[in-house]
Every structure is written in structure tokens, then in C-alpha cells.
Amino acid sequence: MTRKPIIQVRELSVGYGDVIILDRVSFDVYEGELFVILGGSGCGKSTLLKAMIGLIPPFSGQIIMDGDDLSIQDETNLQKVLRKIGVLYQGAALFGSMTVAENVALPIEEYTPLPRESISTLVRMKLGLVSLQGYENHFPSELSGGMKKRAGLARAMALNPKILFFDEPSAGLDPITSAELDDLILHLNRSLGTTMVIVTHELESIFAVAQRIIMLDKHSKGIIAEGDPRYLRDHSQNPFVKQFFNRRAIEEDLDTAGKDT
């Protein structure tokens, strides 16, 4: 059975000012997939994420999200399209003056007409999904780093998005807490069927959760590898890909590296 892409990126060029960071990049993300965007420093991972969640406009090309082309939407319709997604930002981006429950409730209050009792029920459900039941009245300053990430994830799931985006979810976490977050991501993907797009450079997390990856390269300003990370680790002929996945230095000229698929 042919899988259906829920995100289609076509000939996308994106950057800042006159500087092109990524040039004519194309790829698909399929429904229910755990898809990872990776690469070295300065390769454009965060820039691509910002374009995909509507924070920066592309220079050219298309981002088609669940059938809607982001580039042709007016502001009102763009906001409707973006309600299909949730984002866990690198620092969790919780409001420090609000409790955990108030943080999670915020998008529900803003975008739905639900009464307070229903919102409270939904908040408890979302916090239960990330094992934070009982922490509704805590403030972010009272939470550990891993708990903040889980609270941010609960808020990202508040509107039952079809797609979840993660920006460096393991950043700032110790190895044990990072592994626990990986396990939570896997559990939510399997139990809810939510499509997940993760930006990371953490190898252990990549091998733990990724079903498929694309690797970006700052020299070519594009994709130099795509597929199962384990296969690419063991069989890639691209010197940079081998270096990245096996964490070893190489002497080959990286600028001439080709693309693996």
C-alpha cells in the first residue's frame, strides 16, 4: 500500500536577507512517521524547521501541509492550517508566570469555545499523557529540565495536532532523562499515530526514534542523505555521512560528497 505524504516540500529555498541557507530542497514526510532532520552545525536544520512551522517565509518553492500550500494562504487561513501542528521548542518555551495547567490550557482557551470545566479535563488528560498528572499547579521554575520538556509537549498536543514538531528535544538533558523522553516520543507516536518531525543532532536519539532521516549539508545547501539511519551508518559511501554516524574524523574532501538515498 502506497503511503500518503502529509508534508510535501518542493524545491524549497530559504534563508535570511540575501543569504540562501537551503537551495531547492525537496522531500516528503508520511502520515504517522517519525521523521528526523539532522546535519552538522550551520547546515540549516533550524531554518528549515522555522519555514515548515510558518515562522519565516521561503524565498521560493512550496511547503504543502496536509493538502494546504502554506505559501498561498492569507494570514487568517495560514493560522487555521497551523492549528494542525504542535511545536515543542528547544527550551520548552513555557510562560514562567503561569502554572503548568495554565500553560497547557492557553491554546485551548485561545482557539476553542470550550467551557472552563471541559478545558480543565483536557488539560488533565494531556498532562496524563506525559506523566505529569499532579503537577497542574506547579510553576515552570519548580520543574526539572525533563519535566519542563514534557509540560511543553503537553501544550504542543493541546489541540490534538496531526503533526508534532520537535526542536532539539534532548538539548540540555542528561542521558537518562534524554532516553526517557525518547521513549515517551515513541510511545506517543505508536499510541496516537501522530506524525512527528524532529530536528536533532543527538546520535543516540536518532537511532532510538527515527524511522527515516534527511541529512542537510551546509556546503551543498541541500540534502546529502535520506533513508534509514542504521543503513546509512553501515553502508553510506558519502564521507560526511560516514563521519557523522560513526563519529570519526575523515580526510576526504567533504565538498565533493554525493547524495545517498
pLDDT tens-place string over residues 157-201:
999 999 999 999 988 889 999 999 999 999 999 999 999 999 998
Answer yes or no: is pLDDT of 254 > 50.
no
CA distance 126 to 245: 35
If residue 111 lies in a helix (H) or strand (E), which one and from where to where? helix 100-111
Q: Do the Cβ atoms of 70 and 61 come closer than 8 Å? A: no
% residues pLDDT > 70 (the chain) = 94
Q: Find out whether 61 and 52 touch, Cβ atoms under 8 Å.
A: no
CA 44 to CA 209: how far, in whole Å? 21
Please check whether residues 80 and 172 belong to one and the same domain.
yes
Residue 30 falls within a domain, yes or no?
yes
Q: Do 170 and 231 belong to one domain?
A: yes
Region at 222 (left for phi over 0; alpha for psi -120 to 50; beta for the rest): beta
Rounded mean pLDDT of 9-15?
96
Q: Is 165 helix (H, G, I), strand (E, B) or coil?
A: strand
**Residue at 257 is within a domain:** no
Question: What is the structure's pLDDT at 137?
Answer: 96
260 part of a folded domain: no
- Whether 204 and 241 share a structural domain: yes
DSSP three-state, residue 216: strand
Is the domain of 198 the same as that of 110?
A: no
Residues 55 and 11 in one domain: yes
Domain boundary residue, one of 138, 154, 170 = 154
What sign does the dihedral 110-116-120-126 (CA atoms) show? negative
What residue numbers bound the domain in which 145 lies? 96-154
Domain count, the chain: 2
Is 166 in the same domain as 223? yes
Residues 136 and 181 in one domain: no
Beta bridge partners of 19: 16
